[in-house]
Chain A
């Protein structure tokens, strides 16, 4: 009993330290979570739900995170895996069936100062909507300026495969937008 109490006492500060470290890293890299969530869920409540799911899964996996490896790569993998599964489990909901322009309202520029930028954002969203879940992940990583090597590492395909897919994506961008 005494040793159990001692273990609990030593575990608590360790857990606090872990939470603190996790909170710091999450805050620093929160953009990754937001961007992934925004690529896979466009309605505010759906996106919030996805952000929460990603954050929960990150926290759950955090004890296994190897500090020698890149935190952002680790985070992208988890965020994308959760987002793809989330879209699968919610794809039938009416949420996703709303007309595309309606979903744009919450990310549109509130003061309408830049209609050209608005138009580009809409075009970007329309293009994302045309892509399947895995190609969306590829586009997101590409737009985030990741190297082919990083993309291959996150997605689990070869660099050559990434290069081929990116070239096809570029082609689609030209023809479909």
Chain B
């Protein structure tokens, strides 16, 4: 087949498409556009919530460690919650920033690269800010406890140690699961899906970038 024939085929297809009923022009109506527009927002609101959570953790952490400078356990718990709050806030801020600069009217390759970057950063964000909750919830409870009256001589309650051990075991278990998953052949997944799926997100973003690089080099 020659190029001219391909162009003729394209024009035939164009004529058929123009008159075809299945392309529903109702879709262009305003109400449907608004609905579709709203459906694009979950990631934005998810990140806004993460931002608020981060700020809450900073406030809690600072309140805890500044009140308990003489109680080592509470001081450390407060500082860790504070630091984790900063990481959570910054990660949400960067994700929102990347989303905000996604201008679909920019050249195709530029946006596809930007989307791969967003996917990669979101995956990193989800792991860095999600996985530590195996342990962080204990520290958050401790930090809340540190806001009240505390006896500096009191021993650390056993439930805290038990919870921390379970948390560390859970964290290691999740990490091992990710390692195992990484070594098993990947099943097809949404390349642009924003889920906290560790290596898959990195792999998918890498695939997108590889595809772009390949196209640029060809």
Contacts and interface: CB of A to CB of B under 8 A. Distances in A.
A168 B211 CA distance: 17
A121 to B, nearest CB: 5
Interface in A82-131: 82, 84-85, 88-92, 106-107, 109, 114, 117, 120-121, 123-124, 127
Given A89-B193, A92-B190, A156-B109, A120 B9 contact: yes
A64 B28 contact: no
A66 to B, nearest CB: 9
B49 interface: no
Interface in B97-147: 103-112, 115
B189 interface: yes
Nearest to B113: A156
B30 interface: yes
Contacts of B106: 77, 81, 156
B192 interface: yes
A106 B191 CA distance: 28
Given A89-B191, A134-B211, A135-B215, A77 B14 contact: no
Interface in A10-61: 19, 23, 26-27, 30-31, 34-35, 37-38, 44, 47-48, 51-53, 55-57, 59-61
A168 B20 contact: no
Given A48-B23, A107-B16, A124-B6, A77 B33 contact: no
A80 B10 contact: no
A155 B104 contact: no
A107 B6 contact: no
Nearest to B215: A134
Nearest to A57: B104
Interface in B195-214: 208, 211-212, 214
Contacts of A148: none
B36 A53 contact: yes
A156 to B, nearest CB: 3
Contact of B6 (A143, A164, A165): A143
Given A88-B192, A120-B8, A134-B215, A173 B2 contact: yes
B151 interface: no
A160 interface: no
B192 A48 contact: no
A2 interface: no
Contacts of A153: 107
A55 B9 contact: no
Interface in B1-20: 1-3, 5-10, 12-14, 16-18, 20
B41 to A, nearest CB: 11
24 contacts: A37-B23, A55-B27, A60-B37, A61-B104, A64-B105, A65-B105, A77-B105, A77-B106, A80-B108, A81-B111, A88-B190, A91-B191, A92-B188, A92-B190, A117-B12, A120-B5, A121-B9, A123-B9, A124-B9, A155-B109, A156-B107, A161-B216, A165-B218, A177-B1
Interface of A: 19, 23, 26-27, 30-31, 34-35, 37-38, 44, 47-48, 51-53, 55-57, 59-61, 64-65, 74, 77-78, 80-82, 84-85, 88-92, 106-107, 109, 114, 117, 120-121, 123-124, 127, 132-135, 137, 143-144, 153-157, 161, 164-165, 168, 170, 173-174, 177
Interface of B: 1-3, 5-10, 12-14, 16-18, 20, 22-25, 27-28, 30, 32-33, 36-37, 40, 103-112, 115, 188-193, 208, 211-212, 214-216, 218
Given A61-B104, A81-B104, 10 more contacts: A51-B23, A77-B104, A107-B17, A107-B20, A117-B9, A120-B1, A120-B9, A123-B9, A134-B108, A177-B1
